[in-house]
Structure 1
Amino acid sequence: MGVSTSRPEPGVAVVTVDFPPVNALPVRGWYDLADAVRGAGADGGVRCVVLAAAGRGFNAGVDLKEIRRAPGHTALLGANHGCAAAFSAVYDCQVPVVAAVHGFCLGGGVGLAGNADAVVASDDAVFGLPELDRGALGAATHLSRLVPRHLMRALYYTSRTVTARELHGYGSVWRVVPRGELPAAALALAREIAAKDGSLLRLAKAALNGIDPVDVHRSYRYEQGFTFEANLGGVADRLRETFAPGTAAKPDKPAEPAEEDLP
């Protein structure tokens, strides 16, 4: 359990997240993920990083149980800073990052996938921000990198999800493959990227980040201010206490992690 790094072949590092049962990361987990991605990108022998996950889904966001248990706002602040660190590590990684997404990619998972350089997904993958149902805000910055602006708003306000095949139609997912083929498909893209000159890849990554129309760091931190305001005002605690994951699902919304599995 935790975050691990492997080197399946020359030039490629695979960072795998494994926090059963649904990869809802505690504060320490977000920082460990940030350290692993930064470390892989800083390795001169690595030219592409694959971000993957074990278990039922790619990521279910933050560990809400940890936030409920902690006194005051300690865990909330930790989650805010930890998520920002992990998202930034993916975006600022010195080499391209390929996200290999399966199952559910919710909340913080969208932050990771949205900041990746490319996304390969299994045909059962769904992406969404159930933040309004769970007393939170944030990661609209990253969802807007995956879908058009007006769709982002509709998904955000309704807490609905979008499928990998739909994202493939928008061009934000590179390939959609059967679940069993996901590791190989992600590795194939990483291998193709890693075949390029390492020094030039690092320059290309810096150049592409430099021409992005939105500063993802500033944009996400701006969103987090409203998340904290919701907590100070009490609405976040009220919604977290009443949130019941199976009852809030919309009729056409793919199933999310079962209630007993959610943090």
Structure 2
Amino acid sequence: MGVSTSRPEPGIAVVTMDFPPVNALPVQGWYALADAVRTAGRDPGVRCVVLAAEGRGFNAGVDIKELQRDAAGGGRQALLGANRGCAEAFSAVYECAVPVVAAVHGFCLGGGIGLVGNADAIVASDEAVFGLPELDRGALGAATHLARLVPQHLMRALYYTSRTATAAELRAHGSVWRVVPRDRLGAAARELAGEIARKDGSLLRLAKAALNGIDPVDVHRSYRFEQGFTFEANLSGVADRVRDTFGQEART
């Protein structure tokens, strides 16, 4: 349980999330993930990082129960920690010195979109779904990253409705490199990572920096802007009201 790193092949580091039951990461989990990705990228022997997960799905976002427990005691440290931790993890993927391939299975929701939206490439299983249920969870954010996966109007419709898009739909929009059966996901992700890792390591690092430098959207500033509205929702009490409804639904 937690975040682990393995080296299945020369030049490839696999960073794996494992937070049962649904990979909803607690505050410290986001920071641990950020540290693992940054550490892998700094290793001169690594030329590509694969971001993967164990369990039922890739990522279900932040641990809502952790936020609720803190809020029940009158605290907001969990909220602040989750927002900062998510920003750190998203930035770690984007700023990783080498390309990052996301291997997505099951559900990729909320913070999961922030991770894959900042990755360099995505390989997904044929049952994977992607979405931002933020409005159902008393939060806002990661539209910055969903907009990197689908066109603007589809992003807005998905955001407002909290609906999900399939891996096949994202492949049709060009944001998913390959869709494979679940039991082939790890191999397919490592296959792409291996092709990347055969390039010169120094040149790959220059290429990653160059591509980030010509990005049309500053993902850090854009996401930080979104986070401001999350804080406003919390200060106004709207977020707690919606989260409490989510908690009731989860118990029924």
**TM-score normalised by structure 1 residue count:** 0.93
Which of 183, 188, 192 aligns to 1:189? It is 192
Q: Could you tell me which of 72, 75, 81 is aligned with 1:72?
A: 75
Q: Which residue does the alignment assign to 1:47?
A: 47
CA–CA distance in structure 1, aligned partners of residues 42 and 67 of structure 2: 32
Choose from 102, 110, 117 the match for 2:105.
102
1:99 CA drift (Å) = 0.1
User: 2:179, 2:243 → 1: CA distance?
Assistant: 34
Asked if residue 171 in structure 1 is aligned to residue 174 in structure 2, the reply is yes
Q: CA–CA distance in 1 between the matches of 2:246 and 2:89?
A: 26
Letter in 2 for 1:230: A
Aligned to 1:18: 18
Structure 2 portions without partners, runs of 5+: none
State whether structure 2 residue 191 is matched by structure 1 residue 222. Answer: no
- Letter in structure 2 aligned against 1:112: L
Find the counterpart in structure 1 of residue 89 from structure 2: 86
1:135-160 deviations in Å (ceiling 9; x for gaps):
00000000000000010000000000
2:236 aligned with 1:233: yes
Q: Which residue of 2 aligns with 1:160?
A: 163
RMSD: 1.2
2:136 is the counterpart of 1:133: yes
**Aligned residue in 2 for 1:62:** 62
How many residues of Structure 1 are paired with residues of Structure 2 in the alignment? 249
Give the Cα separation in 1 of the matches to 2:58 and 2:145: 16
User: What percent identity do the matched residue pairs reach?
Assistant: 81
Residue by residue over 1:63-95, the C-alpha shift from the partner in whole angstroms, topping out at 9 and shown as x without a partner, is: 011111114211000000000000000000000
Match of 1:253 in 2: none
Where does the alignment leave 5 or more consecutive residues of structure 1 unmatched? Answer: 247-258
What does the per-residue CA deviation read over 1:175-209, in whole Å, with 9 as the maximum and x for residues that have no partner?
00000000000000000000000000000000000
Task: Measure, in 2, the Cα distance between the counterparts of 1:156 and 1:25.
Answer: 21
Deviation of the 1:244 alpha carbon: 5.7
Give distance in 2, aligned partners of 1:153 and 1:169: 18
Aligned-partner residue type, residue 2 of structure 2: G
Amino acid at match of 2:48: C
**How far, CA to CA, are the matches of 1:135 and 1:197 in structure 2?**
45
Q: Distance in 2 between matches of 1:167 and 1:126?
A: 9
Corresponding residue of 2:121: 118
- TM superposition outliers: structure 1 runs of 4+ over 6 Å: none
Q: Matched residues in 1 for 2:39 and 2:200: separation?
A: 19
Instruction: For 1:238-257, list aligned pairs within 5 A.
Output: 238-243=241-246
The one-letter code of the counterpart of 2:219 is V
The residue number in structure 2 matching 1:204 is 207
SS of equivalent residue, structure 1 residue 230: helix
Give the 3-state SS of the residue equivalent to 1:243 in structure 2. Answer: helix
